[in-house]
Chain A
Amino acid sequence: QVQLQESGPGLVKPSQTLSLTCTVSGDSISSDVFYWSWIRQHPGKGLEWIGYIFHSGRTYYNPSLKSRVTISVDTSMNQFSLDLNSVTAADTAVYYCARYCTSTSCPKGGFDYWGQGTLVTVSS
C-alpha cells in the first residue's frame, strides 16, 4: 500500500522559508513511472499545483511560484522536499504531496496517491 506523509513546521514567519518533506512508503521514489508532486490548497479554496520532481532530479514548477520554489529528492531516504522562500500570508495553505503517474501501467496523467496534507500558517 503506497503512502505519502508530509512533515514540517506548521508555522512560518513572513519572509522566511517554508520547508516540507514528503516520505514515501510502499513504493520506490526511484521508479521511472512517477513524478513526485506538491499541491496546495488555500483555506476554503481550490487546488494549486506547485511542481513536481522526477527521481533524476528533473523538476517542473508552476511559473507563478517558480522564482521562490525548490523541489528536491533524496532517493536514499525515499523522500522529496519542498522549499518555498520569502513567504507571506498568501502562502498560508494546506500543502499536499502526491504521486503523479506518467505511464499506462498506472492512472496516466493522474495524481493517484496523496498525503493527508499539512497546514502551514505564515504569521509573525
Chain B
Amino acid sequence: DVVMTQSPLSLPVTPGEPASISCRSSQSLLQSDGYNYLDWYLQKPGQSPQLLIYLGSNRASGVPDRFSGSGSGTDFTLRISRVEPDDVGVYYCMQALLTPETFGGGTKVEIK
C-alpha cells in the first residue's frame, strides 16, 4: 500500500495568518496522464470529510481561494493564505493513484 505521511500532527493557527500542511507519499503519485493523484480533505468537528483539493492543485467546487494545493511526485503541500475560524478541523491528504486509496494520519488545525 502507498503510505501517506502528514506533518505536523497538530497546527495551532492565528486567524488571518497563513498556514501550511505537508504530505509525503511512499511512491510517486504522478500518473502518465500528467496528473498527481493527490487529494486534500477537511473534516470539521462532527461532520463528514469534505473535498478541498483534487489532482494535487485543483480546488473543488465552492472551496474558497485561500486554499491552495501544490507539489508533485511524492511531496505535497496544502496552504491556507489567511486562516479563518471556520477552517478548524482535521485535514487529510489521500492518494488516489492506486487501490487501496490511502489517507494520511491527519493534521488537526485549531485556533490559538
Contacts and interface: CB of A to CB of B under 8 A. Distances in A.
Interface of A: 46-49, 60, 62-64, 96, 101, 107-112, 114-117
B51 A112 contact: yes
Contacts of B41: 47, 111
Contacts of B35: 108-109
Contacts of B94: 47, 111
Q: Is the interface of B mostly helix, strand, loop or mixed?
A: loop
Q: Is the interface of A mostly helix, strand, loop or mixed?
A: loop
A7 B103 CA distance: 25
B28 interface: no
A47 B4 CA distance: 12
Nearest to B48: A114
A111 B41 CA distance: 9
B76 interface: no
Given A49-B103, A115-B48, 17 more contacts: A46-B103, A46-B104, A47-B41, A48-B103, A49-B99, A60-B99, A62-B99, A62-B100, A101-B54, A107-B58, A109-B37, A109-B54, A110-B51, A111-B39, A112-B54, A116-B48, A117-B48
